[in-house]
A = this chain, B = another copy of it.
Amino acid sequence: MAKTGLRERQKAAREERILHAAVTLFRTEDYRSVRIEDLAEMAEVSVGTVYNYYRTKGDILIACVAMEVEEVLANGRQILSAPPHDVEQALLGLIFGYYDHSLEYLSKDMWRQALALSIEAPDTPYGRRYWDLDARLCGQVTDLIRLLQSRGEAQRDLDASALGQLLFNNLNMMFIEFVKTDAMTLQHLRDTVTIQTRPIARMIAGAT
């Protein structure tokens, strides 16, 4: 159902301009120091109009994060369609896929603010939106373990859901550590998580 009325087109264009301004400004300066007035100016609308499209400043940020995570999820589906046969390689491949895409559009500061918002107010629309994405990422890890089990490459008597969540919680917390520490590199994150994930991967594969 294409919306061809003048009003619909203008609405879409305004929302687009606001989001574009947000991605640009939030990446350039700190989230905190970007004022709604600045976004409004760059998007050529008034302050009130910004609030017509996004409930709060946090909503705008979460919209930026959601764009990125949707891509990460799509990439995860790719990997899930034909994962490596080795448990460790499969798990780390998926995890590194998440990590490597994470700073494509977002800065560490944006991640920090988004994480903070989602924890501070999990029951608001933006909080729910964030945690929904989070749960879908976690689901991919669990799905990967199930797939490996069904292929006979992983122990079938292990609780895929519990282990998936354990591994996801670890990669997620390490990601928080990563965005929390400006000096920490992606390589260091990868190395640390590799060491942490390896013994679990061995166990899932069935220790030799």
Contact = CB atoms under 8 A, between A and B. Distances in A.
Interface of A: 112-113, 115-117, 119-123, 131, 158-159, 162-163, 165-166, 169-170, 172-174, 176, 180-182, 195-196, 199-200, 203, 207
Rank and list the top 6 A-B pairs by shortest CB-CB distance, nearest first: A116-B120, A169-B173, A116-B116, A122-B180, A169-B170, A166-B196
A195 B119 contact: no
A185 to B, nearest CB: 17
Contacts of A172: 169, 173
Contacts of A207: 203, 207
Interface of A is mostly: helix
23 contacts: A112-B120, A112-B121, A112-B122, A113-B120, A115-B120, A116-B119, A116-B120, A119-B176, A119-B180, A131-B180, A159-B195, A159-B199, A162-B195, A162-B199, A165-B170, A166-B196, A169-B170, A169-B172, A169-B173, A169-B174, A170-B173, A173-B173, A203-B207
A131 to B, nearest CB: 7
Q: How many monomers of this chain does the complex have? A: 2
A166 B200 contact: yes
A196 B199 CA distance: 15
A112 B158 CA distance: 32
A166 B162 contact: no
A177 B114 CA distance: 16
A122 B181 contact: yes
B119 A119 contact: yes
Contacts of A159: 195, 199
Given A166-B196, A169-B172, 7 more contacts: A122-B181, A159-B195, A163-B196, A172-B173, A200-B200, A203-B203, A203-B207
A148 to B, nearest CB: 15
A113 B122 CA distance: 11
Nearest to A176: B119
